[in-house]
């Protein structure tokens, strides 16, 4: 009789546990089947009044059922929380874009342009070189064949760095990237083709197209006498600018003067804003001024320790900042270094 009742309690307990869904039902179930005053507990408490044979039968059975119900309860307790979850509401869309918690910075438009230029030149087999921004007068001027006290030095509107101790060479915030030509030549033997991205500084009255601090790119290619010519330069320049602007760009050369090149040129590219038809930016000429260039002066090779006449090469330098103005159609160069985040954030990618 008691044995059947215990087995009945076990069956009922298991069945009702499967339907429990709220915390209150759950508590009630525990009181009813495992509580101090539960029927099962009452039976176990009454063991002492049973005959020895019944004790031997009912005792172990009652305890086993109690343990099994307690174990089933523990498992149900773990899963009851899950049973109550609204899975639809809790669904996580792992493909949804995240919320930016920490504001993230981004590259400056001039840096973006620098990276683009480097990518193109690297694809053309050029190496990238670097030089110091505080440059000795030797590399910035003397080695490049600027005669001492010659008005040519005024072309660069130089700042000078105040030096506590008198030293052999004064230092200047470099006025152009051309000094790295000599530094590179001292450490390498031709043939080579190199670009030098860099920040330069000039004591300049600023306006919409002139900054005191701006970025240049130097590009030079040197090999044995006769291997690199003006035609090589024109081809490299046209290939580069066509890749940069994603359209066919022509280059034209005009005679000019730089102490470190002979012959020297100013070079223009066909206006990419109006398709060389004439517009306010190109002053209706169809051409845009881009930079200076020429065949490297043999004096420069001598400054680097090369023998005169052994090598030949071209060099050119252009303003990255001005290229950024053209690429992004910015009307005033001063916006780029203004630190105005409203302007800069437009270039977030
Ligand atoms: C030079 O700096 C020469 N070192 C270039 C060169 C290299 C010639 C190799 C021959 C061989 P220039 O002073 O013209 O040249 O400057 C070159 C370019 O820098 C200019 O064409 C222009 O694009 C840019 N630039 C010059 N001054 C400024 C300025 N104040 N603000 C912004 N860009 C400028």
Pocket of ligand 1 contains residue 233 by CB under 6 Å: no
Q: Judging by DSSP bridges, how do beta strands 192-201 and 287-296 pair with one another? A: unpaired
Any atom of ligand 1 within 6 Å of the Cβ of 66: no
Burial class (CB in 10 A: 0-12, 13-18, 19+), 253: middle
Beta strands across the sheet bearing 311-319:
127-128, 192-201, 213-224, 311-319, 287-296, 261-270, 251-258
DSSP output for 271-287: -TTTTTS--TTTTTTTE
Q: What is the pTM of this model?
A: 0.72
Closest residue by CA, ligand 1 atom 2? 176
Q: Is 176 in the pocket of ligand 1 (CB under 6 A)?
A: yes
β-bridge mates for residue 170, sequence order: none
Which residue puts its alpha carbon closest to atom 34 of ligand 1?
319
CB distance 321 to ligand 1 below 6 Å = yes
Instruction: Give the separation between CA 264 and CA 297, rounded to whole angstroms.
Output: 9
- Cα(223) to ligand 1 centroid in Å equals 24
**Is 292 a pocket residue for ligand 1 (Cβ < 6 Å)?**
yes
The CATH architecture annotation of domain 109-347 reads: 2-Layer Sandwich (3.30)
Q: How far is the CA of 180 from the centre of ligand 1 (A)?
A: 15
Cβ of 317 less than 6 Å from ligand 1: yes
Q: Whose CA is nearest to atom 28 of ligand 1?
A: 210
Would you tell me how many other CB atoms lie within 10 Å of the CB of residue 180?
23
Alpha carbon 293 to chain centroid distance?
A: 32
Torsion of the alpha carbons at 176, 207, 213 and 122, rounded to the nearest 10: -60
How is the chain split into domains, by residue range? 2-90, 109-347
CB atoms within 10 A of CB 21: 11
Task: Report the number of secondary-structure helices (H) and strands (E) in the chain.
Answer: 12, 9
Residue 174 Cβ contacting ligand 1 at under 6 Å: no
**Cα 247 to chain centroid, rounded:** 26
* CA distances to 60, 169, 288 from 308, in Å: 110, 25, 35
In this structure, is the dihedral angle defined by the CA atoms of residues 300, 304, 307 and 311, taken in order, positive or negative?
A: negative
pLDDT by residue for the chain (349 residues), tens digit each? 788 999 999 999 999 988 887 778 888 999 999 999 999 999 989 888 888 888 888 999 999 999 999 999 988 877 766 666 677 787 888 898 888 778 778 999 999 999 999 999 999 999 999 999 999 999 999 999 998 877 656 666 888 887 777 666 788 899 999 999 999 999 999 999 999 999 999 988 888 888 999 999 999 999 999 899 999 999 999 999 999 999 999 999 999 999 999 999 999 999 888 888 988 778 889 998 889 999 999 999 999 999 999 999 999 999 998 888 888 888 888 999 888 999 999 988 7
């Amino acid at each position: 009789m008691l044995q059947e009742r215990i087995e009945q309690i076990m069956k009922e307990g298991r069945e009702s546990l499967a339907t429990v869904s709220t915390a209150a039902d759950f508590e009630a179930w525990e009181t009813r089947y495992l509580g101090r005053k539960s029927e099962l507990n009452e039976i176990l408490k009454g063991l002492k009044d049973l005959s020895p044979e019944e004790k031997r039968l009912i005792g172990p059975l009652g305890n086993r059922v109690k343990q099994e119900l307690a174990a089933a309860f523990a498992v149900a307790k773990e899963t009851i929380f899950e049973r109550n979850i609204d899975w639809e509401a809790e669904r996580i869309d792992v493909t949804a874009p995240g919320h930016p918690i920490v504001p993230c910075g981004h590259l400056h438009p001039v840096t973006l342009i620098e990276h683009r230029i480097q990518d193109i030149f690297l694809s053309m087999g050029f190496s990238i070189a670097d030089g110091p921004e505080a440059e000795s007068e030797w590399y910035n001027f003397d080695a490049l064949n600027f005669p001492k006290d010659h008005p040519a030095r005024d072309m660069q509107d130089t700042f000078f760095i105040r030096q506590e101790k008198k030293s052999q060479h004064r230092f200047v915030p470099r006025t152009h990237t051309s000094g790295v030509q000599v530094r590179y030549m001292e450490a390498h033997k031709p043939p080579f083709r190199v670009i030098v991205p860099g920040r330069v500084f000039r004591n300049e009255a600023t306006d919409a197209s002139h900054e005191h601090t701006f970025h240049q790119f130097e590009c030079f290619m040197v090999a044995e006498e006769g291997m690199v010519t003006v035609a090589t330069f024109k081809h490299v320049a046209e290939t580069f600018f066509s890749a940069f602007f994603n359209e066919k760009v022509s280059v034209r050369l005009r005679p000019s003067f730089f102490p470190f090149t002979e012959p020297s040129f100013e070079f223009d590219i066909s206006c990419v804003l109006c398709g060389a038809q004439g517009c306010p930016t190109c002053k209706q000429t169809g051409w845009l001024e881009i930079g200076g260039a020429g065949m490297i002066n043999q004096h420069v090779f001598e400054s680097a320790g090369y023998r005169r006449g052994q090598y030949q090469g071209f060099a050119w330098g252009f303003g990255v900042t001005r290229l950024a103005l053209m690429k992004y159609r910015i009307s005033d160069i001063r916006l780029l270094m203004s630190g105005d985040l409203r302007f800069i954030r437009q270039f977030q990618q």
